Structures are given as C-alpha cells and as structure tokens.
Amino acid sequence: MNKIWRGWWTLLVVYYAHMVEYRAELLFWILSGSLPIILMGAWVEAAQGDRFSLDAIQFARYFISVFIVRQFTLVWVVWEFEKEVVQGKLSLRLLQPLDPGWHHFISHISERFARLPLVVVLLALFFALYPQAWWLPSFEQAALGGLAIALAFLLRFLFQYTTAMLSFWTERASAIEEMFFLFYLFLSGFIAPLDVFPPVVSQIASWTPFPYMLYFPAALLIGLPVDWGRGLAVIGLWALLLGIVNRWAWRRGLRQYSGMGA
Amino acid sequence: MGISFPPPCTRLRERIVYDDRDTARSLPLMPIVAVDHLSKIYPVAVKEPGLRGTLNHFFRRQYRSIRAVESISFDIAAGEIVGFLGPNGAGKTTTLKMLSGLIYPSSGTVRVAGQIPFDRKTAFLKSMSLVMGQKQQLLWDLPALDSLRINAAVYELSDIEFKQRVGELSEMLALQDQLRQPIRKLSLGERMKAELLAALLHHPKVLFLDEPTLGLDVNAQAAVRDFLRTYNQRYQATILLTSHYMADIAALCQRVLLIYQGRLIYDGSLDGLVERFSPYREVQVELATPVPEAKLRQFAEIESCDRCRVRFLVQRPELTQVVGQILAQLPVSDLSVTEPPLEEVIARLFTTGTVA
C-alpha cells in the first residue's frame, strides 16, 4: 500500500512540474473560463425585478461559485485520450503495468494545484471590484461544498473518460463530447441556476449526472437548499454505472485498438 | 513479376546457437518468445478521390482487409539477439505490437516470458519492453530524470534501486550529464539514449526494438549498438530488433528473421541469408583502356561502368569462368572479387522481385 501511495505521490509531483511549465497558457485558460462572470452580469441585471427566487446578490454569489467549481472540475481527458488512440501514443502507456487512466487522472489533479494560486488572485480581484458579493461560507458549507466539488470532478472525469473510450471506434470521440457538453451547459446550472428552471425541468435534470457536476457544489457553497442525501445517492449510482461501462468499453476497445502510427 | 518464396521455415524447438567464438553447438533451449501461426488482419477504409468518392465515403463507407501478418511461426531462446528484417509494410511493427501485447492477434498464439501478451498481466509487463524509434515516452518539457521517476513509480522500484539503475544505465549510455536537461534540449541521439534508459529501467528480460537507431548519426548509432550488446551480455536479455541499417543487424545479430508481405520467408543465420538470397559476387575491374559497354555486357551483368572502372555482378557458379574470360579478353590492369554489401543484398531482395 505504501508503495502505491509513494507511486501516486511521485506521479503527482512530476505532473505538477509538467503543468507549471505552462504558466502563461494556464492563465489564459483560466481567463477563458470566465463565462460565468459574464452570465452573472446578465442575471444580476435580470434579478432586479423580483421575478426569480434568487435576488441579485445570490445570483452574483451563485455565478462566482460556478466559476470556482468550474476551475476545479475542468476535464479534458477526451481530447488527450483521443489523440493517444488516433496517433498510437496509447501504446507507450499500455506497455506499463499501470492503467493509462491513472496518468490522466493524476495529471488533472496536479493541474488543479498549478492553477490554484492564479484562481485565488482572480477571486481577490473580483471581490475587490464587487465587494457586495463577498461571503464567507460556514464551516459546514465549506466542508460539504469541498466534498461536492471533489465528487463533481470525479463524476465529470468518469463521464468524459467513458465518452473517450469511443475513440477506439469513432476516432472522434471529442465530437460526441461536444454534443454532451450541450446537455451539460443547460442541465448543470452553467447558464442559469436550476432554481429558475420550471419545476418539471429541474426534476428531470436532478436524475441526470449534470447538476452534480456544477449546480450541486455551487449551491452548497453559497447555502442554497439542496437534498444532500439524494445528491450523494445519484452521484454514487451514476459513478457506478459509468465505471462499469468504462471498464467494459476499455476491454472491448483494446481489442479494437490497432496502435495506429505507433 | 511473381514472387518466389523459399520453402517455409521449420520451427526450431532445438536450434543452432553461436557462442562468442562463433563456434556452433546444438542445445535444447526453452524459447522465451514462442510464436505459432500468428496472423493479423486489419480492416482499412477505402476512399476514391474526388467529391463523389468523398460522398460515398461519408454515406457508404467501404472497408477492405489488409493481411498485415500471415501465419508466422518462430521461437527465440533466452539471451538471443535476433534481427527482424523486411521492407516497409512487411509486417515487422505489427508483429512487434502483437508480441508486446499492444494489439490483439487475428489468429495464432504468442507466448512471451511464459505469458500471453494481450492479457497484459503485470508479470508480463514487468518482464518486457518495447522501444519505438519514432515514438517517445519521455515528457518533452521536463528533464529525463523526472520521467524516469514516473517509470520508477510505475514499476515500483525503491529509491535505492532507482538510483543504482539510473547510475548504471546512464554510465553505460554515457548520459550522466544530460539527465537534468529538458528533453527538448537534447540531441536526437541523446534523446534516443534517454528513451532506452527509460525503457530498461525495470530491467526487462525481453526487449523489442523497432528502429532504435532511426535518424541517428553514425556515432550515435554505434553507441546505441554498443549499449545493446552490453545490456544483452550483462543481463542475458533477449532482444528482437528491427532496423533499416544493416550495420545494426550485422553488428548485433547472428540470427535474422525475414518477413515479406506478412510472411516469414527466412529464419536463420545472417551469413546464410546472404548465401541464400545473394548468389552472386561483385567483380571490380580496372581497365587499361575504355571498352564499349556493349562488349562488356557479354561477360556478365554490369552493376556500374565509369570509363575504365567496371563493376560486374556474377553468379557464383560462373565466377571462375567469367573471371577467366575477363582476364583473357579485356585489357585488365586490376581485378578484385568481393561480396556485395549487405545493404545491397537486402535492397535487391526486396526490389528485384526475386525474393527474389
């Protein structure tokens, strides 16, 4: 067990070193994820007329929470994996006695640490410009929100890594991910909090994995009422289902894999 | 032109091996690599050029089967270095991928170090390595040492083992000073050495090498060859090597496998290959005065003719007679008979249609 932890730690440290090689790219990438801040402006303006269940400050806090959650749940494994399959680079990973998925997973984790300081600076700048939106989550909100962010990342990673398995057959799994991203945009609470959706839509959404990738942790961070138990159960069920499909597709896909270009 | 194949190779459960003094002895050997009627068929999408072809390709995609490897069989004993020769597209890399568990065979069986490669069991993965000359596993922006640490973690090496092995292998490769430089700053030769170091850090018993000296200059090629020879001797590692540089094959391999259009057409010694596929000698003649080419052609096939310097290719059974005629009928000032270079033998083999 000790050897395994030591191995993971080594991978984390080396991939962290790899990620910080791209500091400028990292900053631009974080800035490109500022869409929630733009949406916040629109929703704060729209909330002036008391037509929604959230007021302007709650909208502002919601979207800044969405920004934070997005920073920790960004996943790009489908593009990386697709490239590895199409260019045959997966072969080099397959030669080693470690499932290639761990390399992707750990490099994502290490990237979180690399972007953390830049995210903190950007948040400080935001609250300096818009101090009305400042809030400090209670210990419970922070703990549950933090846990929900970790689970949201796991779910998002598992979802996209399972989509990535389609690379073995289509070689353009990223196109399918783009289609799923449409559902993600709408149902995850990215465009608008689920509280402003018609009740039927938010009920249907709550059984899909998407709200748990964004809305659920963001709502927990700002103290919106959420069904914590049901959230955990749905995350667990989707994670189990995706895990099973992922491993099945991996085994079938490897038989399909021809190591193109390798 | 039809291709005529020599009789199919017989499987060699007990084969002749050569020791360092080049003396032959017959030993019963347990193969560490056992390949039996291995085949791989790929489906490949076919597209006609032009708009119509593109639309057809979009709506009704058609595939044809490529027989990359067809029913090949061979064994390799522990500690052997075997050259794997063949023209581009002959099936060498596909075979190596099947041997290393990267792709699933269409039919036939493979065992490497007692394991079925495609099962990808940890014991198998720890016992072998595949180095592809045109692919790199080291992280481009980081020093090799960082990538090596990843490999050490993946293969569960202790810190002591890691330091000792990196020290030993980097000394053998003369690479100590480059391990702390980013990979992108290394020369091609240094990068290849670093790739070899990464591939051998876990001390694999079986090593598959696909064009390990591709693109390297003569010095770097020699360094890689020396390293492979030393590694083989020190760890009794088994090596199967493909290379387009015959110098690699000649320097390292006493046994070669020859694959052509997916079929194994030769399994035996390198000398035997030359004897079998190159039944001719090169006769170089220096003439005192120029002679018309038409007259020269009467003696034998002309390889090249540059005024007074002529190179003939002569079938071995006719060698004595032809040399006698040349000496008797031409104004010869110098004459020498040599074996054609190995490169030329192989090149003729694959291009003249007399696999020819």
How large is the ipTM?
0.82
The amino acid sitting at B54 is T
Residues of A in contact with B180 (CB under 8 A): none
CA distance B32 to chain A (A): 18
- pLDDT at position B130: 95
| Helix or strand (DSSP H, E) at B63 | strand B62-77
| CA atoms of B128 and B111, how far apart (whole Å) | 12
- pLDDT at position B19: 33
Residue-wise pLDDT for B180-199, tens only, equals 999 999 998 899 899 999 99
* Chain B interface mutation, best of A2, A5, A89, A91, highest count of B Cβ atoms under 10 Å: A91
Count Cβ atoms within 10 A of the Cβ of residue B208 and give its class: 0-12 exposed, 13-18 middle, 19 or more buried: buried
User: Does the structure show a pLDDT above 70 at B3?
Assistant: no
- Residues of A at the B interface, defined by Cβ within 8 angstroms: 3, 6-8, 10-11, 13-14, 17-18, 21-22, 88-89, 91-92, 94-98, 254-255, 257-259, 262
The reply to whether B120 touches chain A by the CB within 8 Å rule is yes
User: Does the structure show a pLDDT above 60 at B242?
Assistant: yes
Residue-wise pLDDT for A11-30, tens only, equals 999 999 998 887 788 888 88
Residue of A nearest to B140 (CA): A18
Residues of A in contact with B126 (CB under 8 A): 97
Tell me if A7 and B153 make a contact (CB, 8 A cut-off): yes
> DSSP string of A4-54?
HHHHHHHHHHHHHHHHHTTHHHHHHHHHHT-HHHHHHHHHHHHGGGS-SSS
Cα–Cα–Cα angle for B126, B111, B82, rounded to 5 degrees: 85
User: Does the structure show a pLDDT above 50 at B4?
Assistant: no
- pLDDT at position A28: 85
Residue-wise pLDDT for B119-152, tens only, equals 999 999 999 999 988 778 899 889 999 999 999 9
Nearest CA-CA partner of A137 in A33, A44, A53, A218 = A218
Residue-wise pLDDT for A21-69, tens only, equals 877 888 888 888 888 888 888 777 777 776 777 788 888 999 999 999 9
CA distance A120 to chain B (A): 26
Check: CB of residue A7 under 8 Å from CB of residue B154.
yes
In this predicted structure, which of A31-40, A188-197, B92-101, B119-128 has the lowest mean pLDDT?
A31-40
Q: How many CB atoms lie within 10 A of CB A245?
A: 14
Q: Counting one residue from A and one from B, how many pairs have CB atoms under 8 Å apart?
A: 75
Tell me if A14 and B104 make a contact (CB, 8 A cut-off): no
User: Does the structure show a pLDDT above 50 at B11?
Assistant: no
The reply to whether B214 touches chain A by the CB within 8 Å rule is no
Residues of A in contact with B125 (CB under 8 A): 95-97
- pLDDT at position A37: 84
Kindly state the average pLDDT of the residues A164-193. 93
- pLDDT at position A260: 56
Q: How far is CA B350 from CA A199, B88, B260, B347, in A?
A: 73, 10, 8, 5
**Band of residue A216 on the pLDDT scale cut at 50, 70, 90:** very high
**Band of residue B8 on the pLDDT scale cut at 50, 70, 90:** very low
Tell me if A262 and B97 make a contact (CB, 8 A cut-off): yes
Give residue B282's region: left, alpha or beta (phi > 0; psi -120 to 50): beta
Q: Report the range out of A193-202, B92-101, B128-137, B294-303 with the highest average pLDDT.
A: B92-101
- pLDDT at position B1: 36
Residues of B in contact with A13 (CB under 8 A): 149
Residue of A nearest to B151 (CA): A96
Kindly state the average pLDDT of the residues A218-223. 93
| CA atoms of B205 and A139, how far apart (whole Å) | 55
Instruction: For chain B, give the mean pLDDT.
Output: 85
Nearest CA-CA partner of A219 in A197, A239, A204, A200 = A197
User: Does the structure show a pLDDT above 60 at B233?
Assistant: yes
User: Does the structure show a pLDDT above 60 at B58?
Assistant: yes
Check: CB of residue B288 under 8 Å from CB of residue B332.
yes
**Band of residue A175 on the pLDDT scale cut at 50, 70, 90:** very high
- pLDDT at position B351: 67
Residues of A in contact with B100 (CB under 8 A): 95
- pLDDT at position B12: 38
Q: What is the CATH number of domain B14-35+70-276?
A: 3.40.50.300
User: Does the structure show a pLDDT above 70 at B15?
Assistant: no
Kindly compute the dihedral angle of the four CA atoms of residues A258, B106, B210, B20, in this order, to the nearest 10 degrees: 160
- pLDDT at position B45: 79
Q: Report the range out of A3-17, A50-64, A138-152, B261-275 with the highest average pLDDT.
A: A138-152
| Helix or strand (DSSP H, E) at A218 | helix A215-222
Q: What percent of chain A has pLDDT over 70?
A: 97
CATH architecture of the domain with residue range B279-338:
2-Layer Sandwich (3.30)
User: Does the structure show a pLDDT above 90 at B29?
Assistant: no
Question: What are the extents of the domains in chain A?
Answer: 2-256
| CA atoms of A44 and A133, how far apart (whole Å) | 11
**Band of residue B160 on the pLDDT scale cut at 50, 70, 90:** very high
Stretch(es) of chain B classified as CATH 3.40.50.300: 14-35+70-276
**Band of residue B352 on the pLDDT scale cut at 50, 70, 90:** low
- pLDDT at position A181: 95
| CA atoms of A119 and A73, how far apart (whole Å) | 13
Residues of A in contact with B42 (CB under 8 A): 258
CA distance A6 to chain B (A): 7
Tell me if A21 and B97 make a contact (CB, 8 A cut-off): no
Query: Could you tell me which residue, A206 or A259, shows the higher pLDDT?
Result: A206
Residue of A nearest to B153 (CA): A7
Kindly state the average pLDDT of the residues A96-116. 95
